[in-house]
Chain A
């Protein structure tokens, strides 16, 4: 363990030493070739193979049966597209947030209920960590070197949740996006932060939805012209919406329409225009400023479309708490979801 630490093969926490025989157990958990490239970063001339991912998954403390989830996570991250384009080196300091759906949750014990973003569950803790250790060891993204994050965020140790499908009033996230309920999947969400929504006071769906929209529209999140988000609704909040006849699309539409800032509020923080070079928000008084896409409108949406907002159900059914996962980039297209390979037992 000390040798691994001395060689900087760690995120700061102790890692599990890996032998050839232990590695072979991971490689036996997939039908894919050890030399298959999972994700490449051409600007670094580096890539991650199935073998490298397996070594780091073992170092992270994964059990071999978790490895197909790790592999699906790499596929989803590749499809999402931000990682190959160097987002993990950015000053923004993003982290990979993984969402697991389907029967694998129960099979390997991925927590979807109480303390879902917190500690206590080996599968959640180590699957997320496997991705981060690979970023450090395969791509060399160490802080103060190629990882230039100004502050980073706590999810850079690990971030993996499962959807609480059993206590959701709506269809599971992966089924909503065309997968069979019996298929297990991983969704990749490159994220900046998880903001907590405290709303135990209301039985009115409109009030709750406005509370969510108020968090999503915050001006501090605006680097680009628009932002994206994933609402992780606590089951109690999800049930409140469902009891009032709201579908997930009803909620999405309402939050989209109300995630709005007044032009004057944007001007007050110097974000009422965009740069003609980068399209990042800045003051209309800046020499690079050009009008944003809705110039002339006093009400400025922070989401470019309803599809820039995803909704999942996670956490315990014990209070009116939800979260907004602030995802990176404007988005608007379908989420990046990869099926988990099923390996015969």
Chain B
């Protein structure tokens, strides 16, 4: 699986299309990362854990 910030959703989808995987779903985390504190990053990660689980287990 792939996790990227939402600023890169368009190139992430373009790459997936190019590899012939139009249904591939990259998990999005809010942008940015580099300028956040450790606590802010951890909060964002907690927010996307359900998406990670959903994509990994293939549940709708």
Contact = CB atoms under 8 A, between A and B. Distances in A.
Interface residues of A, number: 9
A144 B7 CA distance: 10
B12 to A, nearest CB: 10
A146 B14 contact: yes
B45 interface: no
A151 to B, nearest CB: 13
A243 to B, nearest CB: 48
Contact of A146 (B11, B19, B38): B11
Q: Is the interface of B mostly helix, strand, loop or mixed?
A: helix
Contacts of A148: 8, 11
Contacts of A45: 18-19
A287 interface: yes
A146 B11 CA distance: 5
A239 B59 CA distance: 71
A145 B38 contact: no
A140 B10 CA distance: 13
Interface residues of B, number: 8
Contact of A287 (B10, B18, B38): B38
A145 B10 CA distance: 6
Interface string A101-113: 0000000000000
Contacts of A145: 10-11, 14
Interface of B: 8, 10-11, 14-15, 18-19, 38
Given A45-B18, A145-B11, 13 more contacts: A44-B18, A45-B19, A89-B11, A140-B14, A140-B18, A144-B10, A145-B10, A145-B14, A146-B11, A146-B14, A148-B8, A148-B11, A287-B38
